[in-house]
């Protein structure tokens, strides 16, 4: 709480004159708000990170198809292919690739999700710093306006 330098009465924030003795406050330096806002340079995001992730996921999902082709090629080399054996080997290969692909996809998605969360938090902090800077500017403009109108 500020006090009148003339009579010592409590001074209202934003008041130009003392309510007790009529002393003018406009010529006195108003309390400065802490303007410690810094404009932090945001880290550059990798521009092709998302596309690489999509490509990796698609590759993982197509792994069972690749396994099927490989199984077909392997079975084609045999003179008397057993249909049961062919289906069994295809199921094993396809299932193994499908599991591997989904594990890889889950790992990629989890890493992307955590990275996006950090980026959002960073942007939130940046926005808060900008708001603080704008508030400090607004206070300075208000003080300047009061000085001009009371001068
Ligand atoms: Zn006073």
What's the pLDDT tens digit per position in 34-75?
Answer: 554 444 444 455 556 777 788 887 777 777 777 777 777 776
Residue 16 counted as domain residue: no
CA of 101 to the centre of ligand 1 (A): 78
CA distances to 65, 70, 84, 93 from 77, rounded to whole Å, are 19, 11, 16, 17
35-39, 61-65, 78-82, 91-95: least confidently modelled range: 35-39
Residue 75 counted as domain residue: yes
Residue 2 counted as domain residue: no
Q: How far apart are CA 10 and CA 23, in angstroms?
A: 12
- Cβ 19 vs Cβ 2: under 8 Å: no
Residue 113 counted as domain residue: yes
Beta strands in 12-135 (DSSP E): none
CA of 8 to the centre of ligand 1 (A): 6
CA of 136 to the centre of ligand 1 (A): 27
Counting the structural domains of the chain, the total is 1
CA of 140 to the centre of ligand 1 (A): 24
Q: How far apart are CA 70 and CA 76, in angstroms?
A: 10
CA of 21 to the centre of ligand 1 (A): 4
Give the global pTM: 0.25
């Amino acid at each position: 709480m500020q006090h009148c330098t003339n009579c010592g009465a409590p001074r209202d924030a934003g008041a130009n004159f003392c309510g007790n003795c009529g002393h003018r406050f406009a010529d006195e330096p108003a309390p400065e708000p802490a303007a410690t806002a810094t404009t932090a340079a945001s880290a550059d995001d990798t521009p092709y990170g998302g596309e690489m992730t999509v490509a990796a996921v698609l590759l993982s999902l197509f792994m069972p198809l690749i396994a099927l082709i490989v199984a077909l090629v392997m079975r084609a080399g045999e003179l008397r292919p057993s249909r049961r054996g062919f289906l069994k080997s295809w199921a094993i290969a396809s299932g193994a690739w499908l599991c591997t692909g989904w594990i890889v996809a889950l790992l990629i998605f989890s890493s992307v999700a955590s990275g996006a969360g950090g980026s959002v938090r960073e942007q939130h902090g940046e926005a808060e710093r900008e708001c603080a800077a704008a508030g400090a500017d607004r206070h300075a403009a208000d003080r300047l306006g009061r000085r001009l109108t009371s001068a």
